[in-house]
Amino acid sequence: MAGSSSATAFVRAAGFGGLPALVERQAGERVLVHLFEDEGVPVALRDAPATPMPLRSMMSLFERGARALGSRTFGVEVGELMTHRGYGMWVEHAVAAPTLGEAIGRLVNTSWAHLSGARLELVHGRECSALRFVSPTFEVGKVQHCDHLLPPMLTFFRLYLGDRWQPEWAEVEYARDPGTSKVESRLQVAVRPGRPGTGLVFKSDQLARKRNAAPSGRARTVTLRDVLADMLLHDAPEPARAISAVVALRLLDGQSDIEGAGRLVGLSVQSLQRRLRERGYTYREIVEEARCARAIRLLLETRMTVLSIALSLGYETHGSFTRAFMRWTGCTPTDYRRAAKAGSAG
């Protein structure tokens, strides 16, 4: 098992794929909203797939969703609504590779673009190899989260090995339960529980197989610039980087209180402050970084009024937000947006 804690294990919200749509379709919007509220994460995440969120919270959402719908195959059903493309530039870069081995290499080597505190690994063997997702152990279950990973993995492999390809077997981290056979039946794949990670096992000589067809459209290479555009305090040590991700997540609901951030990462307010202080940061500084980054994104990418942006970030007035923005950038939000539009037009 990968050693980590809930304070440092993060994935992008894209990882829950069709979970919100499935819950809303089968149980209604009210159940969906309660599911997210009970977990303490904003339902607005469904429209912000690039936002980092705690891996523990994502696993818990899957377990909550399964209980709400009374479905042991909930995770697999969510996975079936996903393809490799749902993970964004990270996977698009990988599937542009000419061979399966090169594609997996790209996936593993750039997995930091999607997650931290967990890992994707290729385990080589003479006859068979495995591509696995290895995650920390939390106090929440991971059955449904493990199951949802398998269908997108299958679509990834089939780009190189054909639409009818089946793995030697699938691996999951949890112990076999009465519902495991339902997963096997749905996927038509044997599942071996109690493994070090969740993934697929395949013949090692298949690593040399070439992609069946060229990727549609122009594949985009994931660069450090692309990744940093979506990450705050990217060069900061933990836990500052992880806390910055939590703050950015909670700002989707206009929340920035330290108590809520502490609950999400499993730390008391005092412990959170102490850990940040040991690394030379304060919680207020991180909130300012997150607010600045989100304000700029909303100014550039939406038509929201300045007042609406101010309120969404937790400011009570237009003026208080404008003063803060001038402190960050040296100009007003209106002038910043106007200058950006003029630059793009030129």
Distance (Å, whole) CA 271 – CA 265:
11
Does position 346 have pLDDT exceeding 80, yes or no?
A: no
User: Predicted confidence band at 5 (pLDDT cuts at 50, 70, 90)?
Assistant: very low
- Please tell me whether residue 133 adopts helix, strand or coil conformation: strand
Q: Decide: 18 and 68 in contact? Cβ < 8 Å.
A: no
Q: What is the pTM of this model?
A: 0.73
Distance (Å, whole) CA 212 – CA 182:
31
Q: How many CB atoms lie within 10 A of CB 68?
A: 18
Q: What are phi and psi of 47, to 5 degrees?
A: -105, 10
Which pLDDT does position 2 carry in this prediction?
Answer: 38
Mean residue pLDDT of the chain comes to 86
Enumerate the β-bridge partners of residue 10: 54, 116
C-alpha distances in angstroms, 2 versus 8, 132, 178, 196, 292?
A: 12, 12, 27, 9, 33
Does position 241 have pLDDT exceeding 90, yes or no?
A: no
Distance (Å, whole) CA 105 – CA 109:
6
Region 235-345: CATH code: 1.10.10.60
Confirm whether 10-208 and 235-345 share one CATH topology: no
User: Predicted confidence band at 199 (pLDDT cuts at 50, 70, 90)?
Assistant: very high
User: Predicted confidence band at 4 (pLDDT cuts at 50, 70, 90)?
Assistant: very low
Distance (Å, whole) CA 143 – CA 176:
10
- Please tell me whether residue 189 adopts helix, strand or coil conformation: coil
Q: Which CATH architecture has domain 10-208?
A: Alpha-Beta Complex (3.90)
Which of 230, 142, 236 has its CA nearest to residue 194? 142
Q: What is the mean pLDDT of residues 259-281?
A: 85
Which pLDDT does position 227 carry in this prediction?
Answer: 39
- What DSSP letter does each residue of 55-75 carry, written as one string? HHHHHHHHHHHHHHHT-TTHH
Which pLDDT does position 236 carry in this prediction?
Answer: 56
Q: Decide: 40 and 112 in contact? Cβ < 8 Å.
A: no
Q: Decide: 55 and 9 in contact? Cβ < 8 Å.
A: yes
Domain ranges of the chain: 10-208, 235-345
User: Predicted confidence band at 67 (pLDDT cuts at 50, 70, 90)?
Assistant: very high
C-alpha distances in angstroms, 186 versus 85, 179, 245?
A: 22, 11, 36
Q: How many CB atoms lie within 10 A of CB 343?
A: 8
Rg (CA), the chain: 21
- Please tell me whether residue 12 adopts helix, strand or coil conformation: strand
Residue-wise pLDDT for 72-114, tens only, equals 999 999 999 998 777 877 788 788 889 999 999 988 987 877 7
Distance (Å, whole) CA 316 – CA 245:
23
